[in-house]
Structure 1
């Protein structure tokens, strides 16, 4: 069985969305991965996104990562988060259609973590269960997710302690005020892009996907 991703174009709200898909007949679950900010060189080829994909693969998941509108071969223009949630929903529905009945987990990094969170809440509202949500370095000061989070998905927030892009203290305060159950994991001596810490990141995510 090949564990190599295949490139494809999915139908999104504005047209084609460029994606990389790993399908497997023995999948234990589905993982959709959302990339960082499109206007700051974010794409599905980001090394943190790639690490999340490999981690989900190693946990036995079918995976899908994709470029938001206006990135790479994806059609359209940046839509300040709201349009990107629509893009992610289209990708999630495509992935679910390939593997009916399998549980869906959403993983996002930076801007993509807030997109994933809002999508998870939207899908729950539509009666589509999300098993797990991982938010890595979420820019909660700039992208409001209040009132939009899922209530039933297991939520893990992973925050670098030396983040130079997202203010760690803002994430800690947001986490402390969050009324729903979740876990906050802090990565010591780690910047926003997890330089030198990708193995540590995998070690945090892998057992949670396997549980």
Structure 2
């Protein structure tokens, strides 16, 4: 998949782009975990989410937040990273202007950033939030949440306890006009180390249901370029 460099608020940002052949395909933006704890766009879950959307015909972008990899700038405790995500979405929309909508998928810190971004962008029609750190960050900005989506987390997550994610889900489910789906992966920790395949299957099934996609029609999207450069971070 093409490696891309584009301008962000604090300098150049490094990413990977899968452009759909369909000009009217939706866009998916994938947001990685916390930069201070090794999170990059090559995190295993981010990598698999990227291809999950690509095989369903989306134009997909994953990128490194400021200060990660070859992205310029310094970690900004979420404020600058939200600006990075907005700039990334702006950039992909400049050449994919006919996209009918946008999906945002984020893992941990990336889930927090993603849910902030969807509050600012009315074109976001769905989200996938994996292990949102509801005990570490304030999610009160979701008042109300403008889009339906999936929240999934591990049943054995000791970084973000179940009760905190459940409180977030329960709050969102009281809102009218949206539907929040929740999936708990039994036995999974915060990093889904032994349950990544199950996690991606849950996300794929949800996405297929939402967009009415027949999984027998998956596109043959090669990931040889990614793997040849050791892009996947296990």
TM-score between both structures, scaled by the size of structure 2: 0.82
1:135 pairs with one of 114, 122, 129: 129
The one of 71, 87, 97 aligned to 2:68: 71
Is 1:152 paired with 2:146?
yes
Counterparts of 1:189-204 in structure 2 under 5 Å? Answer: 189-204=187-202
Q: CA deviation at 1:97?
A: 1.6
**What does the per-residue CA deviation read over 1:75-125, in whole Å, with 9 as the maximum and x for residues that have no partner?**
11111111100000000111112211211100000000000000010113x
- Which structure 1 residue ranges, 4+ long, deviate > 4 Å from structure 2? none
Is 2:41 the partner of 1:41?
no
**Cross-structure match for 1:20:** 16
Contact 2:119–2:146 (Cα < 8 Å) also in 1: no
What is the rounded CA distance, in whole Å, between the counterparts of 1:54 and 1:198 in structure 2? Answer: 14
Structure 1 segments unaligned to the other structure (5+ residues): none
- 1:166 corresponds to: 160
Distance, in Å, in 1 between the alignment partners of 2:182 and 2:54 is 23
How many angstroms apart in 2 are the aligned matches of 1:84 and 1:145? 16
Q: Secondary structure at the match of 1:203?
A: helix
- CA deviation vs aligned residue, 1:154-200 (integer Å, no higher than 9, x gap): 22101111112211221112211223331111111111111222221
Does 2:7 match 1:11?
yes
CA contact (8 A) 2:118 2:146 kept: no
C-alpha distance 157-41 of structure 1, shift in aligned 2 (>3 A): same
Cα distance, 1:92–1:79 mapped onto 2, change above 3 Å:
same
Task: Indicate whether 1:123 and 2:121 are aligned.
Answer: yes
Superposition deviation, residue 150 in structure 1: 6.5
Number of aligned pairs?
203
Rate the CA distance shift 1:59–1:152 in 2: closer, same or farther, 3 A. Answer: same
Alpha carbons of 1:101 and 1:145: their partners in 2 closer, same or farther (altered >3 Å)? farther
